[in-house]
Amino acid sequence: MAKTCNVALIGQGFMGRTHSNAYLKVSKFFTDLPVNPVMHTVFGMENENPQVFASRWGWKNYSTDWKKVIANEEIDFVDIVTPNHMHMPPAMAALEAKKPVGTEKPIAGTLADARAMVEAAKKAKVPTFVWYNYRRCPAVALAHQLVKAGKLGRIFHVRCVYLQDWGGPDTPLLWRFQKKLAGSGAHGDLNAHIVDMARFVTGDDIVEVSGAVAETFIKERTIPTTGAAGGIAAGAKGSAKKGKVDVDDAVLFLARFKKGAVASFECSRLATGYKNQNGFEIHGEKGALRFRFENMNYLDYYDATVDPKIQGWTSIICTSGANHPYVSAWWPDAHILGYEHGFVNQAADIMMVLGKKTPTVPLPDFADAYETQRVLEAALLSAANRTPIKISEVK
């Protein structure tokens, strides 16, 4: 019989819902996990009414004191879904208590906080995780496997985008538009994902950033009177009073990888017409890959090694056949997956690691996520100073 793991969720909101759903579902679909999560306690602030959240999402207990939650000897794993600036305090408390801990992405609101968390994790010697959930899409995991198997050969060129349009002038001053709470704007929220995906799929690290542009188009926004779950626009309303926006709306930059590939990254919250379009193109000497999350069940593959007469893009449905990553736990062939399944897949891999088993594909820990944070910091430095920045200079 599998062991159990008492989970504490620190935070609620949009990410609290996705993580809660993952813990509810994971053992029902991944039936051979070495450790099964138990939804022990959720923390929320008093004005968030954590009792209602706990009842709705299946948490056995609730609390308005995260320090007491983490100190509880019954808690085995701490999962943090607060706004970015609040990642470090509970993470450090969990590490001090020698408890495995995970955070939402990015790892922290600032590079200094991220570095402190990495150092604390080294001392604690317990597993850490960061929820870069797009790695857990079967198509992205398959792309990682194809590159690792040498299907693309030497990689020349990488293109990554993450485009949304919810941040227009009518969107109020939610926490994601405030540096003290978010650390950065679209950059830390969106570019973080595609930088992680690029590093994950290529198996390579970025060594230099250049040509960065960071722009805040909407300088002031109305103070919100009612907020939306997770700080995104749906359902949020603003008052007549306005406040200053001190984070970016869009960031674009160029990069070089250690093995010689060049790359471009682009993110925006004002890309009219795109709701949640993130993805990549990777071009190599033997072939190419492309992926777009709004069509998340498919991965496009170009095999440049076959007879030129039959070369062309092949669209692979990555929920067809048990050999695709994760899909054997889910539905019959081509019964497609959705956004929430990436979180369930990650919960399964976390339980595998906590049970001392190998996950389906590598999970980012604090040290891995710190490398993505260094790239993000380098891009902001490049934009501010209008100069190339070597990642080795960002510590």
- Domain match, 98 and 211 both: no
User: Region 77-87: what's the mean pLDDT?
Assistant: 95
Taking only the tens place, the pLDDT of each residue in 7-32 is 999 999 999 999 999 999 999 999 99
pTM exceeds 0.85: yes
Taking only the tens place, the pLDDT of each residue in 248-296 is 999 999 999 999 999 999 999 999 999 999 999 999 999 999 999 999 9
Residue listed under structure tokens 């790359």: 263
Cβ neighbours around 192 below 10 Å, total: 26
Mean pLDDT score across all residues of the chain = 94
pLDDT at 182: 85
State how far the Cα of 197 lies from the Cα of 106, in Å rounded to an integer: 13
pLDDT at 225: 74
pLDDT at 233: 52
CATH number at residue 187: 3.30.360.10
- Domain match, 291 and 340 both: yes
pLDDT at 175: 87
State how far the Cα of 108 lies from the Cα of 112, in Å rounded to an integer: 9
User: Strands 101-104, 77-80: parallel, antiparallel or unpaired by DSSP?
Assistant: parallel
Taking only the tens place, the pLDDT of each residue in 99-127 is 999 999 999 999 999 999 999 999 999 99
State how far the Cα of 368 lies from the Cα of 196, in Å rounded to an integer: 9
pLDDT at 283: 98
> Which structural domain, as residue segments, surrounds residue 338?
137-385
pLDDT at 238: 55
Q: Report phi then psi at 301, rounded to 5.
A: -130, 135
* Cβ neighbours of residue 141 closer than 8 Å, sequence gap 6 or more: 135, 325, 326, 360, 361
Taking only the tens place, the pLDDT of each residue in 221-245 is 999 875 544 455 555 555 678 999 9
State how far the Cα of 377 lies from the Cα of 389, in Å rounded to an integer: 10
Q: Which residue has the higher pLDDT, 382 or 1?
A: 382
pLDDT at 11: 97
Amino acid at 72: N
- Domain match, 103 and 206 both: no
What is the number of structural domains in the chain?
2
- Please, are residues 91 and 68 in contact by the beta-carbon 8 Å criterion? no
pLDDT at 115: 97
Model confidence at 359, pLDDT cuts 50, 70, 90, reads very high
- Domain match, 243 and 365 both: yes
Model confidence at 301, pLDDT cuts 50, 70, 90, reads very high
User: Region 339-357: what's the mean pLDDT?
Assistant: 98
**Does a structural domain hold residue 22?**
yes
What does the block give as tokens for 320? 């067809």
Residue listed under structure tokens 């995970």: 102
- Domain match, 226 and 331 both: yes
**Does a structural domain hold residue 390?**
no
- Domain match, 159 and 235 both: yes
Q: Which residue has the higher pLDDT, 46 or 77?
A: 77
User: Region 371-385: what's the mean pLDDT?
Assistant: 97
Taking only the tens place, the pLDDT of each residue in 142-174 is 999 999 999 999 999 999 999 999 999 999 999
- Residue 178 pLDDT > 50: yes
pLDDT at 230: 46
Q: What is 300-339 written as a DSSP string?
A: EEEETTS-GGG--EEEEETTSSTTSTTGGGS-STT----H
Q: Which of 111, 134, 157 is the last residue of a domain?
A: 134
**Does a structural domain hold residue 393?**
no
Q: Starting from the edge strand earliest in sequence, which strands make up the sheet with 250-257, in order?
A: 313-317, 298-303, 287-292, 277-284, 155-163, 262-268, 250-257, 206-215, 389-390
Q: Which of 101, 117, 134 is the last residue of a domain?
A: 134
